[in-house]
Structure 1
C-alpha cells in the first residue's frame, strides 16, 4: 500500500525537547515533500498551539519550531487534543490561527483511513 498521508501525534513538549523537535521536524519535512500531514498536539506539546509558545522553545541544532509549524500548515493541519486543551484551560479562542481542537474519535478516523501512516512521538 502506498501512503499518501502522514499522521503524527506529539506527546512531548519542552519536557522532552529532542523527541518533541523530532516529531515537528518529521511532520514539516513530510509537508515540504508534498505529503498531506495531520499533526496532533497532545500532552505537553499542547502548549505549542498557543501564540508565542513555539518561539520560547529552544534546542541546539534544531530548526526553529515556528518555522516547522508554518511548514506543516502549508500542506496539512494541526490539531490540539480536546482533553489536553481542557486540562490546560485552552479554548478555540486561544489557539494559533488554523489550529483546531478535536478528540480521539477524529484521530482514530484519520489514522484508520486508507493510505495513512501514523507515528507517535
Structure 2
C-alpha cells in the first residue's frame, strides 16, 4: 500500500512495527517470498526514494535492533514521534 501511494506521488511515512521491523534489516526482506507480490525490499526502497521508513522504537528494542542494524535511510523513533507525526495539520493516517 505504501509503495503504491509513494509511486502515486503521495508523501509517505511508513512505520514498521512488530515483526515487520525485521524488514528494515539488511538481507531480511529478501528472504520473504510472497506469491503475487513485488519483492519486499523493492517496496521498502520505493518508499525510501520519496518518503520515510521508521522502525518503532519499542519494537526495535524488543529485537535488540539499533539504527546501525538497519538499511540506509531507515530510522528508529518512538511513540511520541508517531503521535506528533499523525496529529500534524493536514496529515492523513492510513493503517492497512
Q: Deviations over 1:38-82 (max 9, x none)?
A: 000110101111000110111100111111111101110000011
**SS state of the match for residue 94, structure 2?**
strand
Q: Deviations over 1:79-110 (max 9, x none)?
A: 00111000000011111000000001110011
Structure 2 partner of 1:110: 85
**SS state of the match for residue 89, structure 1?**
coil
- Picking from 63, 76, 82, the partner of 1:88 is 63
**SS state of the match for residue 61, structure 1?**
coil
After the TM superposition, list the runs of 4 or more consecutive aligned residues in structure 1 that deviate by more than 4 angstroms. Answer: none
Gaps of 5+ in 2: none
Higher relative contact order (CA 8 A, sep 6+): 1
TM-score by length of structure 1 reads 0.76
CA RMSD of aligned residues (A): 0.9
Gaps of 5+ in 1: 1-25
- Picking from 36, 40, 50, the partner of 2:25 is 50
Q: Aligned partners of 2:53, 2:74: CA distance in 1, in Å?
A: 5
The count of corresponding residues between Structure 1 and Structure 2 is 96
Q: Does 1:32 align with 2:17?
A: no
Please state which structure has a larger fraction of its residues in strand. Answer: 1
TM-score by length of structure 2 reads 0.95
